[in-house]
A and B are shown apart, each in its own frame.
Chain A
Amino acid sequence: MTKTKNNQPEKPVFTDVLKKSAFNIFYVSPMILGVLGLSAVLLTYITPQQVKTVFTGNPVTDTLYGAVLGGIMMGNAMISYILGGELLKMGVSLYAVTAFLLAWVTTGYVQIPMEISFFGKRFTVIRNLLTLIFTLIVSVLIVYTYEKIK
């Protein structure tokens, strides 16, 4: 509990903040371990050929599929990095993985009702549509730039 002095909240001690950060990661550790465990199974049991039947390497369809997959999934962004890294190892194109990572962090369909209640329907609809369009465009630009510089 934060102590007060003259009704002013005291600045927290750094070690307390550090402890809180450590616990925050610790509390999501079952989820992280689960994702690492599941991706290890998928990587061992699913062959790259099987994955390539969905992600064919076509930049347009791969970006679309990646964005849809990332958009419907939710949770801590670090989970998306782990999954994205594993998808790359399976031979999925960087277009799909980039769209997947970007959609995971930018689109939050689950939070839409809450966003509407705070900022209104018009604001939420326009913002989320723009976000979806930007996700597709930015994903392609990221990979294009990366491939050029690499």
Chain B
Amino acid sequence: MKKSNDKKPVEARFQGIKFLTFVLVLYLILYFIDSDKTLKALHYFLKNTLSVIPIFLFVILLTAVINYYFPKQRIAKMLQGKSRFRTYTVSLLAGLISHGPVFVWYPLLKNLKDKGLTNGALVTFLYGRSIKLTLLPVMIGFFGQLYTFIFILYIAIAALIQGVLFEVIYKRR
């Protein structure tokens, strides 16, 4: 009989249950030590949680749009460019829109590498992944538009430079 990962019990799919339980217990202990401060912390927690809910709703929508229009196979196709400049630029863009944990991408990237994807382009893709496009609303919410824009711009430039630099270093022995 076949067993699928989707058949995992619902509670097993949740991340951080133990951590949340620990925090709840901590609140309980702290309440007996200093009830005023703990209530203040609880109030702060509720205020913060309510303020991030609209951001998360937007994140869900943005993630769905990207996952729908850019499935893994499509990104793989994009990475097989012809000119070097185009390959680096496309690697960066592919890194930006790629989703999920990085190790999920390793087999596919290895496959592309075996088919001629350069090490530099691979490095650019991996560094470009640190720009979390779907989480931009969260970042803007916490740090503002200007900071987020500068943060992303520098990562994008660094991803391209790192790719080229890696290629040079790697070829030396």
Q: Which residues of A contact B (CB under 8 A)?
A: 12, 14, 17-18, 20-22, 24-25, 27-34, 36-41, 43-45, 77-78, 81-82, 84-85, 88, 98, 101-102, 105-106, 108, 111, 114-115, 118-119, 122-123, 126-127, 130-131, 134, 137-138, 141-142, 145-146, 149-150
The reply to whether B15 and A30 contact each other, CB–CB distance below 8 Å, is yes
A-B contact number at CB 8 A: 165
A22-B60, A40-B42, A81-B143 known; A111-B150 Cβ under 8 A: no
Main secondary structure of the interface of B (DSSP, over half): helix
Is there contact, CB below 8 Å, between A27 and B13? Answer: yes
Partner of A25, one of B20, B59, B107: B59
Asked if B143 and A142 sit within 8 Å, CB to CB, the answer is no
- Residue contact B165 to A130, C-beta cutoff 8 Å: yes
Contact B52 A36 (CB under 8 A): yes
Mask, B34-70, CB within 8 Å of A = 1, is: 0001101110110011001000100111011001100
Q: Nearest-CB distance from A58 to chain B (Å)?
A: 21
Say whether, besides A24-B63, A28-B15, A43-B41, A134 and B107 are in contact (CB < 8 Å): no
B142: contacting residue among A34, A37, A84, A98, CB under 8 A: A84
B23, B113, B146, B147: the one within 8 Å of A37 (CB): B23
* Assembly CA distance A115 to B123 (angstroms): 12
Please, which residue of chain A has its CB at the minimum distance from the CB of B37? Answer: A44
Cβ-neighbour of A85 out of B130, B142, B154 (below 8 A): B142
- Assuming A22-B60, A142-B147, what are 9 further A-B pairs, CB within 8 angstroms? A34-B22, A36-B48, A40-B45, A44-B44, A111-B103, A115-B106, A123-B119, A134-B127, A145-B154
- Chain B residues contacting A102 (CB-CB under 8 Å) are 130, 151, 155
Closest 5 CB pairs of A and B: A31-B16, A40-B45, A85-B142, A105-B130, A44-B41
Distance in angstroms between the alpha carbons of A134 and B162 in the assembled complex: 8
Across the interface, A21 reaches (CB within 8 A) one of B26, B67, B113, namely B67
Count residues of chain B with CB under 8 A from any CB of chain A. 65
Contact of B110 with A by CB under 8 A: yes
Q: List B residues at the A interface (Cβ < 8 Å).
A: 13-17, 19-20, 22-24, 26-27, 30, 37-38, 40-42, 44-45, 48-49, 52, 56, 59-61, 63-64, 67-68, 102-103, 106-107, 109-110, 113, 119, 122-123, 126-127, 129-130, 132, 135, 138-139, 141-143, 146-147, 150-151, 154-155, 158, 161-162, 165-166, 169-170
Query: Whole-angstrom distance between the alpha carbons of A15 and B128 in the complex?
Result: 28
11 contacts between A and B (CB under 8 A): A17-B68, A18-B64, A28-B15, A36-B49, A41-B23, A43-B41, A44-B41, A105-B132, A119-B113, A127-B166, A149-B150
